[in-house]
Amino acid sequence: MKVLSGIQPSGKLHIGNYFGMMRPMIESMDSNELYAFVVDLHALTSVHDRERLATDTFGAAADFLSLGLDPDKCVFWVQSDVPEVTELTWILSTLTPMGLLERCHSYKDKVAKGIIASHGLFSYPVLMAADILLYQAEKVPVGKDQKQHVEVTRDIAIKFNNTFGETFTIPEPVISKDLATVPGLDGQKMSKSYGNTISIFLDEKELKKRVMAITTDAIPVDDPKDPENCNLFSIFKLFAPEDRLKDVHGLYVNGGAMYGKIKLELVDLIWDYFREARETRARLEGDKGYVRDILFKGAGKAREKAMLTLEQVREKVGLRY
């Protein structure tokens, strides 16, 4: 099974990225043909600072490797190192109906949050479609907010196949019902755009500051509370052992849940959970040549796959004469 997904380097990676996409991808390495990449071209829709983009691109790659991605068990690269994706994006854009893109809620949400309404932001789903279709991906692990973009990819692929003949595999989104959307500090979806994240590789002091800032209600300690409508509990259950989670759930339902105490416990859980990854991340930061070499080799493998698909596309649409 071909599985593909990417991570955008538009800021420090957070636990929503990890549980929503990164961990499912890493867990699929042994049983699937895995394609994982850093989507720096997508990041250009919101990042217009050369140093920041370059730093965050390297950082996202190092983070992924630190968290357990094995480059020998997958194809791992940086999006812009495979130029075939931009050519396919243009070809697909000539078939993509404007109405299809105008219905995409992600564009509207981002503009409402203050991101510049550029053509790149509007046509983001076409570039994402090219990312997926270029490698003939069958499964695409995404967060709930990206499901619509995979559906757009399917629509574009079907239209291309109907127009020019069978060319693209029709992909399926893969969304964990339990982890579809990890809440942020304020209860909205955790997102760098909203500034409500808990980054994976914070130092301990900053981690505590972020966790203690999680919004909670004002219900008295002894009163019953609904754990399913509490973003603190939603984050806590990602890290807590099953027996401890059961205890805390009981405190919510029966009364006695002390938010401050639960937050302090959560700090320790997160710190311990990523301990080994932090140590690996520190080593990679000191050996950037090693990381770049992995990405260079990965881009070579990705281009081999990409050129096979693009050559078919060129032939089908008439770019071979």
- From the list 165, 35, 156, the residue with the least C-alpha distance to 89 is 156
Of these residues, 108, 144, 177, 189, which one is catalytic? 189
Based on the number of CB atoms within 10 Å of its own CB, is 285 exposed (0-12), middle (13-18) or buried (19 or more)? middle
For this structure, is 110 an active site residue? yes
> Could you read off the pLDDT of 186-239 as tens digits, one per residue?
999 888 878 899 999 999 999 999 999 999 999 999 999 999 999 999 999 999
> Could you read off the pLDDT of 62-75 as tens digits, one per residue?
999 999 999 999 99
Question: 221 lies in which domain range?
Answer: 202-273
Q: Are residues 216 and 256 in the same domain?
A: yes
Q: How many domains does the chain have?
A: 2
C-alpha to C-alpha distance for 264 and 206, rounded to whole angstroms: 13
Q: Are residues 67 and 163 in the same domain?
A: yes
Q: What is the CATH number of the domain that holds 156?
A: 3.40.50.620
Q: Are residues 121 and 6 in the same domain?
A: yes
Of these residues, 159, 177, 192, 301, which one is catalytic? 192
Q: Predicted confidence band at 43 (pLDDT cuts at 50, 70, 90)?
A: very high
Q: Predicted confidence band at 131 (pLDDT cuts at 50, 70, 90)?
A: very high
C-alpha to C-alpha distance for 183 and 234, rounded to whole angstroms: 7
Q: Are residues 150 and 102 in the same domain?
A: yes
Please check whether residue 191 lies inside any domain of the structure: no
Of these residues, 12, 108, 110, 225, which one is catalytic? 110
For this structure, is 192 an active site residue? yes
Q: Are residues 291 and 268 in the same domain?
A: no
- From the list 183, 126, 205, the residue with the least C-alpha distance to 159 is 126
Largest separation between any pair of C-alpha atoms in the chain: 77
C-alpha to C-alpha distance for 135 and 128, rounded to whole angstroms: 12
For this structure, is 144 an active site residue? no
Please check whether residue 207 lies inside any domain of the structure: yes
Please check whether residue 281 lies inside any domain of the structure: no
Q: Are residues 16 and 142 in the same domain?
A: yes
Please check whether residue 190 lies inside any domain of the structure: no
Based on the number of CB atoms within 10 Å of its own CB, is 16 exposed (0-12), middle (13-18) or buried (19 or more)? buried
Where is 4: in which H helix or E strand?
strand 2-7
C-alpha to C-alpha distance for 121 and 179, rounded to whole angstroms: 26
% pLDDT > 90, the chain:
77
Q: What is the CATH number of the domain that holds 269?
A: 1.10.240.10
CB neighbour list of residue 84: distance below 8 Å, 6 or more residues apart:
134, 303, 306, 307, 309, 310
Please check whether residue 251 lies inside any domain of the structure: yes
pTM assigned to the model? 0.86
